[in-house]
Amino acid sequence: MTNAISVSGLHKSFGRTRALDGLDLTVATGEVHGFLGPNGAGKSTTIRVLLGLLRADAGQVRLLDGDPWRDAVSLHRRLAYVPGDVTLWPTLSGGEVIDLLGRLRGGLDQKRRAELLERFDLDPTKRGRAYSKGNRQKVALVAALASDVELLILDEPTSGLDPLMEEVFRECIVDERRAGRTVLLSSHILAEVEALCDRVSIIRNGRTVESGSLAELRHLRRTALSAELAGDPDGLADLPGVHDLSIEGNRVRCEVDTAHLDAVLAVLGKAGVRGLTSQPPTLEELFLRHYDDAPRTAEQPASAGAVR
């Protein structure tokens, strides 16, 4: 399997602000890759380097076996991009923008264009200035999805779409994967990534903190347990991997690292279990833990971390 995108040790600074600080990203051909991170983590900057709009300060960047800066024009004919904040020309209609972008990419599938307009319920005759944010997003999405390309680079493509349209978008991405296209999907809508992506890269402060398939990232997860016991759970507090333990009478609540679940269940079993609920962790929690439990950066109040 070859890689559609491979980035290693990417650095990019704007003046004194360090936007990317040694970022790594590998997207295999044919996969849908989730690119997760909070606002300001460097997702859009990475994408703009991949598109040759920004020049990397240091690091290796390969896109579809080319150099995104040097080979920009030839590479761009093989990909479609949807920016996070779509702005349109005020006097051009949505249909005109879709056709223009498609033609500049080297062609548009007319049948697919019509079908997508239908699915997204988009009026192509409105002028650019008359569209809402969600509808501007739809214009860019239709233009990208109706193009015959190998790679889709989507920067938070569902921001501004209503839940119904998010669902349509998901169906479209499933279709794209089936058609063998590679998708890089930056997002902070976790349910979307969980539902769509084969693999995920999580970035924070311009660095990749985790990368792997959803299964591989499972070791990071915790399971939330709530048990009603017959006796005292002796030694539970001393076990490794137990967090946020609270004992009220014979009710026990805690979060357990998945790797240590065994030992915890043994202790509970010894005390006699009358009732037990466990909640599987969502990607949401995984995400929160990466960005909220990590040490605070200098500009944020130090107390926020200490209080926890």
Partner 1 sequence: MNGSLTGAGALARFGFRRDRIMLPLWLYLLAATVLGTAWSFQQLYRTPAQIAAFAAGITGNAAVISITGPAYDLTSLGSLVMWRVGTWAGAFTGLMSLLLVLRHTRAEEEAGRLELVGSTVVGRHAALTAGLVIAGAANVLIGAVNAVGLIAFGLPVVGSLALGLSMCLTGWVFAALAALAAQLTESAGAARGLAASVLGVAFLLRAAGDAGATGGLGWLSWISPLGWGPRLRPFADERWWVLAIPLLATLVLTVGAYALISRRDFGAGLLASRPGPAVAARSLASPLALAWRLHRGALIGWTTGFAVFGAVIGNLAPSIAGMLRSSPQTATIMARLGGQGGLTDLFLSAMFGLFGLVSSAYAVQATLRLRTEESGQRTEPLLATGVGRIRWAASHVVLALAGTAVLLLAAGLTAGLVEGAHDGTVGHTLGRVLTAALVQVPAAWVLAGVGVLLFGVLPRFAVASWAAVVIVVLLGELGSTLRLPQAVLDVSPFTHVPKLPGGAVTGTQMVGLVTVIIVAAVLTVVGLVGFRRRDIDTQ
* Binding of residue 40 to partner 1 (CB under 8 A): no
Binding-residue total with partner 1 (CB under 8 A): 44
* Binding of residue 101 to partner 1 (CB under 8 A): yes
Interacting positions 147-186 with partner 1 (CB under 8 A): 153
SS3 assignment, position 172? helix
Q: Strands 273-279 and 199-204: what pairing? A: unpaired
DSSP conformation class of 280: P
Show the site string, 103-142: x = touches partner 1 by CB under 8 A, - = not: xxxx-----------------xxxx-xx---------x--
Among 99, 156, 192, 255, binds partner 1 (CB under 8 A): 99
Among 100, 168, 195, 245, binds partner 1 (CB under 8 A): 100
Cβ neighbourhood burial of 179 (10 Å; 0-12, 13-18, 19+): exposed
Q: Residue 124 or 241: which CB sits closer to partner 1? A: 124
Cβ neighbourhood burial of 281 (10 Å; 0-12, 13-18, 19+): middle
Q: Residue 117 or 200: which CB sits closer to partner 1? A: 117
Smallest separation (angstroms) from partner 1 to the CB of 279: 38
Q: Which stretch binds partner 1 (CB under 8 A): 92-100, 207-215, 224-232, 273-281?
A: 92-100
Q: Which residue(s) pair with 151 in the sheet?
A: 79, 182
User: Are the CB atoms for 206 and 228 separated by under 8 Å?
Assistant: no
* Binding of residue 289 to partner 1 (CB under 8 A): no
* Binding of residue 5 to partner 1 (CB under 8 A): no
CA 182, CA 27: separation in Å to the nearest integer? Answer: 8
Among 40, 70, 89, 292, binds partner 1 (CB under 8 A): 89
Among 31, 34, 41, 76, binds partner 1 (CB under 8 A): 76
Other C-beta atoms closer than 10 Å to the C-beta of 173 total 21
Tokens, residue 113: 């264009």
User: Are the CB atoms for 22 and 206 separated by under 8 Å?
Assistant: yes
CA 276, CA 286: separation in Å to the nearest integer? Answer: 23
Q: Which residues bind partner 1 (CB under 8 A)?
A: 48, 51-55, 72-74, 76-77, 79-81, 83, 85-101, 103-106, 124-127, 129-130, 140, 153
